[in-house]
Chains A and B, each alone.
Chain A
């Protein structure tokens, strides 16, 4: 791909927040007709670099160049005028506005100062067809599932007719089917000469789609090279800068554990009439397309949403937990997928977040026990290798470290059942590995881990058993050698099993 000149370029950009340098002299050049991967652990500076490239932030020094010319004051509006569009990881949608109004936001076609709804309709229809959005365009975004909202976000970027398209973790909430549509779309745009920047923690996607890679580590560029001839291991090596061994810990032979959870005719939310059981020492994976009842299964077992069952035995009790306190008392804990809203109190310190579930247990005579708390905090921070000052607000941490805090806060309760909802979403690869090791260790200690995940390789390599949900029912239960990506995806999509010829 030499010979073309870059459409968008960052040259020696520096950026810091409150005295903490985040980017220390970064160069990147996006060429037309090329899918460029941006890799780096969380906290490496990827989001900041994207914000600089899209005008949402200004560099402290260095320059952003469009078509080889430095831009003066850059803003999101100026970036749009230059043909730069971003698919944000944090959705930029307005829940109560319609799909069409969301897609056009900030780029409405106008006539006499008013929004030209006719032109808007045609433009939106076109981009929705490209991404396979068939929902009525007047539907409020609030009525869409997360994966569909992500597709709206992608359509919104396309609506701006970008010459440069930046995609930040676009597949983290997409189903396999939707991710496939996106992959084909990326190839089409590339062939039309669009410059693409692709950020993903899913290395197989990076390998399949991208031809060039820039790797960030601690705010600096550690690699800027072609992806030809680099395999997954090589990518991981580039990112972490050393040999990693296998991402997934070895799976020990399953030991016969005592049955911890049995439910029959279990219904909760989207889940309808399923039978489910799990033993201690097991990691049970819950798979399926986005929004098939995975979350409701976990929440129902956790007593957080109304659930019913014809027979239930949960941690020795002959019934389902009636509420969350009940579940906690029985040793059941839940780590939500949306850690920013449900898992953590973002503006509070790491220490306060870690101690929150233990406050009552530690209290003496109704008052907080500061000495006991600080001992526990120090212990947890050490066990989780959380670096730095625990008095920092938890929102200052990278996604991966936030997730570690959301998980670690439960450990003092010595839980016997851990319900985890997509624990590695938007988490860097190194932290993923730490979390996997932790889950394996939990199982080895005789705890039961129930893991709902949208990351199929994770289910394959980590689970002793995988339950695939489809439309609220069990589509398949896979065990041992039967667990494979093909089997999970096939069951999730309702594909009948073909003869096992191969």
Chain B
């Protein structure tokens, strides 16, 4: 028995089992994608596919950011404001001396730092994440409005064209981010996110650095959120201090659609990604079919409740047989 094959076998078996649990979700996502392709065959061209994934990309990132914290037993209400702040920082720094690389670095550092500070407050002062991030959302919104009181700023055209043009760069970036996530999850710290989310005391007694895990989770979540803001700025060609607002609740909705539980340790990142894709497709379909915005909101809410209720009802039905 070689080390490689036994490693592959155990790792593969664990992953396979997680996929089997998500079979239903995969089917639903596939069905919606087929429906979408039938309604709007444009998605099958490179340009159409690129546009579609660009619409999905920021939601995918913030859903990952949200799921990361929910898996760790937390939550964040600061997603929207941090997306806005990321967009604002991008639009105000890219004309500086360091140019685009400097702007990207500034956005990334701001996301990491804000996340880490939030995480440190939650972990060390043992305050509830929902309150700390609610407070954070006000502060971050304020800072964004101070930096850029009204939409504007500067994003170089070539950056917008690269990220949000007719090439599937956004999709490739998402794949890259998912590869990084898989690698992170194969580290002791990554698994610690699950363990500390499900059973913090047990994880602590097992030698998992629970506080450090929480701070890392918040920092990575902040990074992903701020980068989503950078992307939104590139997409719109400018910074807008309130553009991120809808992302807070949509990130929670997408994670829940993807089967991530509220109590920590339950769910998978691949499920959350599917959830964000599903939500993105549904929003697009309703938009293109000409649903009025009010009806869109109602439909979105009903679908989310249904998505949570259906597996639960199925479970009860199975238990009764």
CB of A432 closer than 8 Å to a CB of B: no
Given contacts A92-B202, A117-B10, A121-B7, 6 further A-B contacts (CB under 8 A): A80-B207, A92-B206, A100-B10, A116-B3, A118-B10, A156-B206
Q: How far is the CA of A114 from the CA of B204 in the complex (A)?
A: 20
Interface size on A, residues (CB 8 A): 40
Q: How far is the CA of A110 from the CA of B186 in the complex (A)?
A: 10
Contact between chains at B198 and A100 (CB < 8 Å): no
Interface size on B, residues (CB 8 A): 35
CB of A230 closer than 8 Å to a CB of B: no
CB of B124 closer than 8 Å to a CB of A: no
19 CB contacts below 8 A, A to B, read A76-B204, A76-B207, A77-B207, A94-B198, A94-B265, A95-B265, A96-B194, A96-B267, A97-B198, A105-B191, A105-B192, A106-B188, A106-B203, A106-B206, A106-B208, A115-B186, A117-B11, A119-B3, A138-B10
Contact between chains at A94 and B202 (CB < 8 Å): yes
Contact flags A135-148 to B (C-beta < 8 A → 1, else 0): 01111100000000
Contact between chains at A56 and B191 (CB < 8 Å): no
In chain A, what residue has the closest Cβ to B11?
A117
Which residues from chain B contact A88 at a C-beta distance below 8 Å?
A: 202, 205
CB of A122 closer than 8 Å to a CB of B: yes
In chain A, what residue has the closest Cβ to B320?
A306
Contact flags B1-38 to A (C-beta < 8 A → 1, else 0): 00110111111011011000000000000000000000
CB of B310 closer than 8 Å to a CB of A: no
CB of B298 closer than 8 Å to a CB of A: no
Q: How far is the CA of A95 from the CA of B207 in the complex (A)?
A: 17
CB of B236 closer than 8 Å to a CB of A: no
Q: How far is the CA of A115 from the CA of B9 in the complex (A)?
A: 14
CB of B289 closer than 8 Å to a CB of A: no
In the A-B complex, the 5 residue pairs with the closest CB atoms: A92-B202, A106-B207, A118-B7, A138-B13, A106-B206
Q: How many pairs, one residue from A and one from B, have CB atoms within 8 Å of each other in the complex?
A: 112
In chain A, what residue has the closest Cβ to B183?
A114
Q: Which of A76, A95, A117, A119 contacts B206 (CB 8 A)?
A: A76
Main secondary structure of the interface of A (DSSP, over half): loop
Q: How far is the CA of A88 from the CA of B203 in the complex (A)?
A: 12
Which residues from chain B contact A76 at a C-beta distance below 8 Å?
A: 204-207
**Which residues of B in the span 187-233 have a Cβ within 8 Å of any Cβ on A?**
187-188, 191-192, 194-195, 198-199, 201-209
Q: How far is the CA of A306 from the CA of B206 in the complex (A)?
A: 38
Q: How far is the CA of A118 from the CA of B6 in the complex (A)?
A: 5
Which residues from chain B contact A95 at a C-beta distance below 8 Å?
A: 198-199, 265-266
Cβ distance A194 to chain B, nearest Cβ, rounded Å: 19
Scoring A107, A114, A117, A137 by chain B CB atoms within 10 A of each residue's CB, the highest score goes to A117
Which residues from chain B contact A140 at a C-beta distance below 8 Å?
A: 17
Q: How far is the CA of A95 from the CA of B73 in the complex (A)?
A: 13
Residue numbers of B with Cβ under 8 A of A are 3-4, 6-11, 13-14, 16-17, 183, 186-188, 191-192, 194-195, 198-199, 201-209, 265-267, 320
Q: How far is the CA of A117 from the CA of B320 in the complex (A)?
A: 39
Q: How far is the CA of A114 from the CA of B189 in the complex (A)?
A: 9
Which residues from chain A contact B201 at a C-beta distance below 8 Å?
A: 90, 92
Contact between chains at A92 and B3 (CB < 8 Å): no
Cβ distance B58 to chain A, nearest Cβ, rounded Å: 28
Cβ distance A371 to chain B, nearest Cβ, rounded Å: 36
Contact between chains at B17 and A98 (CB < 8 Å): yes
Given A92-B202, A92-B206, A106-B203, A97 and B6 touching (CB < 8 A)? no
Which residues from chain B contact A86 at a C-beta distance below 8 Å?
A: 205
In chain B, what residue has the closest Cβ to A86?
B205
Q: How far is the CA of A253 from the CA of B207 in the complex (A)?
A: 55
Contact between chains at A91 and B187 (CB < 8 Å): no
Contact between chains at B266 and A97 (CB < 8 Å): no
Q: How far is the CA of A117 from the CA of B9 in the complex (A)?
A: 9
Contact between chains at A105 and B206 (CB < 8 Å): yes
Contact between chains at B9 and A100 (CB < 8 Å): no
Contact between chains at B199 and A94 (CB < 8 Å): yes
Cβ distance A72 to chain B, nearest Cβ, rounded Å: 17
Contact between chains at A91 and B188 (CB < 8 Å): no
Which residues from chain B contact A116 at a C-beta distance below 8 Å?
A: 3, 7
Cβ distance B205 to chain A, nearest Cβ, rounded Å: 5
Q: How far is the CA of A68 from the CA of B3 in the complex (A)?
A: 39
CB of A229 closer than 8 Å to a CB of B: no
Which residues from chain B contact A138 at a C-beta distance below 8 Å?
A: 10, 13-14, 16-17
Q: How far is the CA of A91 from the CA of B199 in the complex (A)?
A: 9
Scoring A94, A114, A122, A140 by chain B CB atoms within 10 A of each residue's CB, the highest score goes to A94
Which residues from chain A contact B265 at a C-beta distance below 8 Å?
A: 94-97
Given A94-B202, A94-B203, A115-B187, A137 and B10 touching (CB < 8 A)? yes
Contact between chains at A121 and B266 (CB < 8 Å): no
Q: Which of B14, B207, B209, B266 contacts A100 (CB 8 A)?
A: B14
Which residues from chain B contact A97 at a C-beta distance below 8 Å?
A: 191, 194-195, 198, 265
